[in-house]
């Protein structure tokens, strides 16, 4: 893969790639729905298909290198991901509570598989490709936070697609929370140098949510409720990407 060629591409290529990824996801979902597959099978096939499409898109066009391994000592990785690991433990405890209150093991395992595919796809797209792609194309210095904000905004806006099957207030809450979650995930990826950490938290979070609510979100919560996680996640991201740590990010991703 010619990485230098990718760095020379204009920024709008990344936005086009985001639109293409969403279009493929929506088209595939509609196709499987018309073929009358079950919701679960449709979700699994959709995620596998968009993962393949994303790999082709990046390998043959964008050429952004996704980092899975890092030279950062494991102890340092744990410190960077302390907050994320706290959330993982909390979410696993909530998942155990659901099992104790009647959720079947089979249901949780199926939702876990869907959640894993979703986490790999979304983290590969928004953090692995878009975030680093913006970083490499915008240059050095202040571009670190600009890239984080751009990729997190696209991640949040993507959740507007949920308006097709749920309330406006619930969707707005999800958009706000997704923006904050994007900030946190971007910071942990940039500081740890491995996409495995963001995938771990995303996978655990989605497993807990899907095991509780299923593949179709229900209910109606206030739109402002998304502000609480936004503030918490955003604060942690600000700490992780403080000025003294940005040079480390620039060096790690060879911006």
Residue count of the chain, please give it: 255
216, pLDDT greater than 80: no
Which of 35-49, 98-112, 172-186 has the least mean pLDDT?
A: 98-112
| pLDDT-based confidence at residue 23 (cuts at 50, 70, 90) | very high
How do residues 125-171 score in pLDDT, each as one tens digit? 999 999 999 998 887 556 899 999 999 999 999 999 888 778 899 89
Residue 222 dihedral angles phi and psi, to the nearest 5°: -60, 140
| pLDDT score at 211 | 86
CB 175 within 8 A of CB 227: no
| pLDDT score at 95 | 87
Provide the phi-psi class of 65: left if phi over 0, else alpha when psi is between -120 and 50, else beta. beta
| pLDDT score at 58 | 96
Is the full-model pTM beyond 0.75?
Answer: yes
58: Cβ contacts below 8 Å, ≥ 6 apart: 17, 64, 66, 129
Separation of alpha carbons 199 and 179, rounded Å = 16
8, pLDDT greater than 90: no
Between the CA atoms of 29, 34, 39 and 44, what dihedral angle is there, to the nearest 10 degrees? -50
Domain boundaries, the chain: 68-252
More confident residue, 137 or 124: 124
Which of 28-32, 95-99, 213-217 has the least mean pLDDT?
A: 213-217
């Amino acid at each position: 893969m010619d990485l230098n060629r990718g760095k020379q591409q204009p920024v709008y290529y990344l936005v086009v790639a985001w639109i293409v990824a969403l279009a493929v996801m929506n088209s595939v979902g509609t196709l499987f729905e018309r073929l009358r597959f079950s919701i679960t099978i449709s979700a699994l096939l959709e995620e596998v298909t968009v993962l393949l499409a994303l790999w082709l898109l990046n390998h043959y066009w964008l050429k952004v290198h996704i980092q899975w391994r890092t030279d950062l000592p494991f102890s340092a990785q744990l410190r960077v991901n302390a907050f994320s690991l706290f959330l993982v433990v909390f979410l696993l405890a909530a998942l155990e509570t659901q099992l104790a209150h009647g959720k079947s093991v089979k249901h949780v395992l199926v939702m876990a598989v869907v959640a894993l595919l979703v986490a790999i796809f979304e983290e590969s797209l928004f953090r692995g490709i878009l975030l680093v792609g913006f970083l490499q194309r915008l240059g050095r210095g202040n571009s670190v936070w600009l890239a984080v904000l751009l990729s997190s905004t696209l991640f949040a806006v993507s959740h507007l697609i949920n308006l097709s099957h749920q309330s406006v207030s619930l969707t707005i809450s999800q958009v706000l929370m997704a923006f904050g979650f994007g900030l946190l995930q971007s910071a942990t990826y940039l500081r740890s140098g491995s996409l495995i950490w963001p995938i771990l938290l995303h996978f655990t979070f989605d497993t807990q949510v899907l095991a509780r609510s299923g593949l179709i979100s229900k209910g109606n919560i206030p739109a402002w409720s998304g502000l609480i996680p936004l503030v918490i996640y955003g604060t942690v991201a600000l700490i992780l990407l403080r000025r003294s740590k940005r040079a480390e990010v620039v060096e790690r991703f060879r911006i």
